[in-house]
Structure 1
Amino acid sequence: MADQMVRLYLTRFESVFRILHIPSFWNEYERYWSDPTEAETVLQLKIQLVTAIGTSIIRQDTVDTTDIYSTARQGLYATQEWLSGPMKKNRISIDSLQVQCLLILARQALAAGGDIVWISMGTVVRTAMQMGLHRDPKHFTRMGILQGEIRRRLWATILELNVQAALDAGVPPTLSFDDFDTEAPSNVNDQDMDEQTKALQEHPPTAATDSSLQRFLFRSLRPRLEVARRMNGLTSRPSEMSMSYNELIALTASLTSTCRSCDAHIPRTHSASSDMASFHHNLADLLLRRFILHLHRPLAGRARTDPRYYFSRKTSLDAALAILSPIPKNAEFAHLVLLGAGIFKHRMIHASLAVASELLMEVEEHRPVGFHSPSQEPSGYRKMLMEALREALRQAAERIRLGETNVKLHMKLRMALRQTEVAGENSSSLQQLAESAKESLETSYAMIQERATSEGVEINNESGRDRGMSADFDLDDFDPESFTLGSNFNFNLDDLFFLPAEFDMDGVAAP
């Protein structure tokens, strides 16, 4: 089982997040199994984390995952405890840094504190800079070829994890291109170098290697850092953060072009299956495309009153649809984004709400004239949006079935779908929304109860507390019996789906 999980990690995640030198890791892995009791703690933790990440994409129809996920998360907690222990000099090492990066990825893949990894990323970044990873290995003349390449790869991975975490946390990135001079990893395969390598023979820039996908993401880092800085930065004077619409379009064009060329940088060998290639494509595309969605979603709602923002409206929807239903389809990736937190959870929230917002705008723009006007047959465009929203609702429900305890997204999407389905009818819109919300809460409550029962968790309805579930779990959030929309008949879905003015990019000038 461990062998299978390790192979899943190495063949799926390692091409995007370069943390390990694969031949060296296999040597360590074999040495560990030859005598586990004598292995160093850092090696044990490294193997536990690699195995844990592999479990996040294991097929559920082949094995009972309940115990496997529980065991994997125990490895994460053990690692966190080790990292929180007394600081010693031997903790400042490449092995320790690899453990920290693996832990950040594992927490998101297995939804174990994955929504707050930005806090931990501060420690990772500072540890790496303390070790000098922000300076290119060419400055260290005594450093070996293999060691230098591992440092370049680790630094590129840290930059990737950092910008993704900053985007999700709503804070500016902690690094800029002025803070480091480390170059992109060399375009080589892992088997091309070892401890004895004296000179590196790089492949042509266009050749796909074990490092080409990470090199590709590294080249796109500058525009993504700029998006995160523009979206999340604070300034004393709004004019300092202003960005013309032409600048916004230029950023979008750069990221869109990068997404289109992603496939060319995915390594394909005679042994690489289509599943591997599609997983790599889906994961890399998500890491890129979500920045387009974050950039344009706050502006898309402005198109309701200002048609000059139609570009943002269309771009936001296109990015959301591509994120919700990535092509090519990959079952392993689909499971990962439904199970995971952080990158994988926020992808779901922003994409689904963007689709719901567009659908509500479409309904508003084509609302029948007159209170008693008969309802019209939905257009092909509206039907397409409704199907996309139903898919988002299905994914939200599946996330709850897999352990998500925040049910508000599912409720919002159900309400938006009901609002669309009853458009033009004479029944009370508020009553329809209340019924759809209650149905959603009942469905979510039943799924959480079923999962709690299967895991032997007791939910105490009287005290409103639970034993063994997420700290975010709160019965008051979804108790169907106590749910009410109140008596405010001015209630509308703008409060749920359209970003308030203070979240808009006020510095962005109209075209």
Structure 2
Amino acid sequence: MTMSESGPRRRRPAVSCTLCRRRKTRCDRKVPCSNCVRSKNAHCVYTSHPSDHPRRPDHGQRTELVFAQADGRNPYLSPVDQPSLSKPSTDAGHAAASIVGSSTNAPTPTSQASGREVEAMKSRIRELEEQLAKATQGAPQASVPAPVVTVSAAVPVVDQSSLTYVDSQLFGETQVITRSIIHKSRMFGQSHWINGIIGLCRDIFEALEPHIVDETSKAISGVQKCKALARVIKSRRTPSWPLSPTSILPSKEVADELVDCYLRTFETVYRVLHVPTFRRDYDALWVSDAEPDIPFIVQLKLVLAIGATIYDEQFSLRASAIQWIYEAQTFISEPAFKSRRSIQFLQTNILLLQARELVNVGADAIWTSAGSLYRSAVYWGLHRDPANLCKRTTYVVEMRRRLWNTIVELNLHTSMLLGAPPSFSLHEYDTALPGNFDDDQLAADAPVPKPDNELTQMSIARALCKTLPVRLAVARFLNDLGSNFTYEEVLRLDAEVRASYKSLCRVLRECNASNGPKSLQFAIRSVDCIMHRYLAALHMPFFPVASRESTYAFSRNVVIETSLKLWNAVCPSSLTVSPRPHDSTQSPYPDDLTRLTVCASGFYRQLGMQAGLSVATELSAQLQQGESLGPVPLRPDLLAILDAMRAWNLRVIEAGDTNIKSYLLTCLVTAQIEGLKRGIGKDQLVESYLQTVEDAEGKCYAILERLAARDQVEGMIGGIDPDAFDISPEGMDDWDFMMTDVLLNQSAVEPTSWMFNEIPQVPLF
């Protein structure tokens, strides 16, 4: 609470429970109240904490103390020990408590007598400010004018499943920003795409809640029918565990195309294989009568699994890809340690991580697996540059550098993807950047790296690697709880990301990468998406509040413009065209990135979903805030994305994804915007929501029925027995991490439980 020299004003005490106040609904003030009873809320809490209604400081005010409820632990740290603007000292907390106490009571002789104590507390606060200024001296200065010295106590606010921090003040403004979300014993940091989208969806489902409390409603029954059918489909695709590797492969014609799909896409961005060596062993596999080498067979099947995600537009080999990943996971899990310390074993681990993300096999745990792989690489010495170790051939030196670079990139990639803190820092290794070699050069004696301005098979990976420091700084800023989360830091990192991106573009232009082989076009577009993803993630936490606070208008503009670029990269207008069957006579280089976005899960799918929902959020905000005597003008390019989103999400289901949540959410968002454009009332808008849900569920159920029939008739290729698949709890877990239940899981009472309810799970704690 702030103080002014004219004395405090009396505030009307809060009489509603916390849930009703948050929802802005009438509370009957019972214990529990009727709204909590209807919502099955186990905790109906009434509170009148003084921080519930903070007041703005006067123009002459120098110090503002903002308080929030802590989670039971002592949140205060000494400014010397923790030189962050978000951590006050214990004495400052006691001082503020005294000030709050004296300012909320009527003047009495006792309070007048304690005036000297209040002045002493103010003096103590000034001393702490001076200590804080000395402790933070030398920190990077923001590129914006610094406000009057303010101290904001960023004590964590625990609202059941969410942890929020009070954002540091900028130009006198204070905002509460969600730092992380806890869901099903998992914590997602701010880089997780769902953090910036919660506000858009909550309004829709809160409006729907009173109309879908009955389990016999058509909306609920339709969702449950789709879920039941989806679980049957997934159970048929999921093999029993463990599953030992076999030498069974698809036909050579299919395998050749799958290998080519992988080599022209992911291998050009994240270097894993020495292509000539891999090609030699692959060709020998088909002509040799000897017993096949199981480690190479496992590695090959992972290459096939990744290539299957862009083999055709229907992901017809999805079940086979899952089978190959299960075999590789069984092979990796065997307790044979000494015999596994080889380059090939690291390559197999890297390919397994990529395949699990793209095919969505345990994709929500790849960050922990990437950390385990990183520690294995450190234990085997890959974090030391080979020049500092014993003498090795150029091939071994460069492969060690390439694998280390890829392992570090995957750690950072999974950190941003799942909203987890990075598991490494730059000072932990001294491995040099891989040389600018083509793969064929490594087989020669004493090869000489090509100049940086000459295009090689390593040019794209090297250019991306040079941006690693700034990308790592962004990931730490977003996902580390101890980061100095201020808007000034956002602007500073924004400038660094843009400078790094400009340097990357200059390097690729100098080596003429844009006019290089067509097989490199996927890599160029992927790197472009990666850099824009970091820029969007940096500003996304401020995007929901930017429509209300002009201070963050820059973040609003960055998110929208970046979303447009990402959508045009991964979901171009061609997605609205009906899918064509696979035709081996078409161009040898189809639009792999577009096909990957539709068929595969993980990073590229999230790019499309986040970009589309960000655009929808902007359109909704413009309609709700626009003041015009006529229709509110909307940008045609944003409206075009909104229309394409539904077709894109429907194609994702047609390609074999059993998760209907993305499509259902997109339809609801579209219905909201259409209703706001027509200016219809709240009741009519709710009716539109209900009709939209029923129509969307009908379309999805028809597609899922076709998928179930196709899987039952076709089975799988490569001699795999469909009877090996059974219905197990593991096979019926989360539909897809891309659209997790965390969507609106921000309180104990969930208006979305009817839509996002899953099989109960035993909590971790």
TM-score range normalised by the length of the shorter chain: 0.7 to 0.9
Which of 179, 190, 198 is equivalent to 2:439? Answer: 190
- RMSD of Structure 2 on Structure 1 (CA): 3.0
For residues 339-393 of structure 1, give each alpha carbon's deviation from its aligned partner in whole angstroms, at most 9, with x where no partner exists.
2122123223322221111111111222556xxxxx62x5251x32121122222
Higher helix share: 1
For residues 186-238 of structure 1, give each alpha carbon's deviation from its aligned partner in whole angstroms, at most 9, with x where no partner exists.
011111121x52x2311111211110100011001111111111111112xx7
Partner of 1:172 in structure 2?
A: 421
Shifted more, 214-223 versus 41-50: the winner is 41-50
Which of 329, 341, 360 is equivalent to 1:80? Answer: 329
| Cα contact 1:115–1:342 (8 A) shared by 2 | no
Partner of 1:200 in structure 2?
A: 447
Which of 297, 301, 319 is equivalent to 2:540? Answer: 297
Shifted more, 24-33 versus 13-22: the winner is 24-33
Looking at structure 2, the residues matched to 432 and 65 of structure 1 have their Cα atoms a distance apart, in angstroms, of 34
| Within-5 A mapping of 1:309-328 | 309-326=552-569
Aligned residue pairs total 455
Report the residue type matching 1:301 in the other structure: P
For residues 136-164 of structure 1, give each alpha carbon's deviation from its aligned partner in whole angstroms, at most 9, with x where no partner exists.
11112321110010111111111111111
| Cα contact 2:564–2:611 (8 A) shared by 1 | yes
Q: 1:245 to 1:164 in 2, by over 3 A?
A: closer
Shift of 1:77: 0.8
Looking at structure 2, the residues matched to 286 and 227 of structure 1 have their Cα atoms a distance apart, in angstroms, of 16
Partner of 2:679 in structure 1?
A: 425
Partner of 1:122 in structure 2?
A: 371
Q: 1:220 to 1:473 in 2, by over 3 A?
A: closer
User: Could you tell me the percent identity over the aligned residues?
Assistant: 27
Report the residue type matching 1:142 in the other structure: K
| Cα contact 1:116–1:342 (8 A) shared by 2 | no
Shifted more, 49-58 versus 223-232: the winner is 49-58
Partner of 1:282 in structure 2?
A: 525
Looking at structure 1, the residues matched to 660 and 608 of structure 2 have their Cα atoms a distance apart, in angstroms, of 13
Q: 1:473 to 1:51 in 2, by over 3 A?
A: closer
Report the residue type matching 1:226 in the other structure: A
Q: 1:241 to 1:131 in 2, by over 3 A?
A: farther
Under a length normalisation based on structure 2, what TM-score does the superposition of the two structures give?
Answer: 0.55
Which of 338, 363, 366 is equivalent to 1:89? Answer: 338
Partner of 1:71 in structure 2?
A: 320
Looking at structure 2, the residues matched to 350 and 215 of structure 1 have their Cα atoms a distance apart, in angstroms, of 28
| Cα contact 1:172–1:233 (8 A) shared by 2 | yes
Looking at structure 2, the residues matched to 65 and 343 of structure 1 have their Cα atoms a distance apart, in angstroms, of 17
| Cα contact 1:293–1:350 (8 A) shared by 2 | no
Report the residue type matching 2:550 in the other structure: P
Report the residue type matching 2:499 in the other structure: S
Partner of 1:364 in structure 2?
A: 624
SS in structure 2 of the partner of residue 225 of structure 1: helix
Partner of 1:384 in structure 2?
A: 637
Looking at structure 2, the residues matched to 449 and 265 of structure 1 have their Cα atoms a distance apart, in angstroms, of 52
Looking at structure 1, the residues matched to 467 and 383 of structure 2 have their Cα atoms a distance apart, in angstroms, of 18
Looking at structure 2, the residues matched to 387 and 256 of structure 1 have their Cα atoms a distance apart, in angstroms, of 28
Shift of 1:11: 2.1
Partner of 1:402 in structure 2?
A: 655
| Cα contact 1:93–1:131 (8 A) shared by 2 | no
SS in structure 2 of the partner of residue 278 of structure 1: helix
1:250 aligns to 2:495 (yes or no): yes
Larger Rg: 2
Q: 1:131 to 1:469 in 2, by over 3 A?
A: closer
| Within-5 A mapping of 1:208-287 | 208-235=455-482, 239=484, 243-254=488-499, 256-257=501-502, 260-261=505-506, 264=509, 272-273=517-518, 276-287=519-530
Q: 1:406 to 1:28 in 2, by over 3 A?
A: same
Shifted more, 214-223 versus 23-32: the winner is 23-32
| Cα contact 1:405–1:472 (8 A) shared by 2 | no
Looking at structure 2, the residues matched to 271 and 177 of structure 1 have their Cα atoms a distance apart, in angstroms, of 32
Partner of 2:278 in structure 1?
A: 25
Looking at structure 1, the residues matched to 598 and 507 of structure 2 have their Cα atoms a distance apart, in angstroms, of 23
For residues 470-507 of structure 1, give each alpha carbon's deviation from its aligned partner in whole angstroms, at most 9, with x where no partner exists.
53249xx9xxxxxxxxxx9xx99xxx9xxxxxxxxxxx
Q: 1:134 to 1:385 in 2, by over 3 A?
A: same
Shifted more, 280-289 versus 293-302: the winner is 280-289
Looking at structure 2, the residues matched to 326 and 180 of structure 1 have their Cα atoms a distance apart, in angstroms, of 34
SS in structure 1 of the partner of residue 268 of structure 2: coil
For residues 226-273 of structure 1, give each alpha carbon's deviation from its aligned partner in whole angstroms, at most 9, with x where no partner exists.
1111111112xx757775343133234235425744753787699933
Shift of 1:437: 2.9
Shift of 1:280: 1.9
Under a length normalisation based on structure 1, what TM-score does the superposition of the two structures give?
Answer: 0.81
Q: 1:313 to 1:258 in 2, by over 3 A?
A: farther
Shifted more, 401-410 versus 139-148: the winner is 401-410
Shifted more, 90-99 versus 403-412: the winner is 403-412
Shifted more, 157-166 versus 47-56: the winner is 47-56
Looking at structure 2, the residues matched to 347 and 224 of structure 1 have their Cα atoms a distance apart, in angstroms, of 17
Which of 577, 584, 591 is equivalent to 1:331? Answer: 591
Looking at structure 1, the residues matched to 511 and 350 of structure 2 have their Cα atoms a distance apart, in angstroms, of 22
Partner of 2:695 in structure 1?
A: 439
Unaligned runs of 5+ in 2: 1-253, 573-589, 714-726, 740-748, 757-765
| Cα contact 1:317–1:355 (8 A) shared by 2 | yes
Q: 1:240 to 1:307 in 2, by over 3 A?
A: closer
* Higher RCO (CA-CA < 8 Å; seq separation 6+): 2
| Cα contact 2:265–2:592 (8 A) shared by 1 | no
Unaligned runs of 5+ in 1: 370-374, 458-464, 478-487, 497-511
Shift of 1:80: 0.3
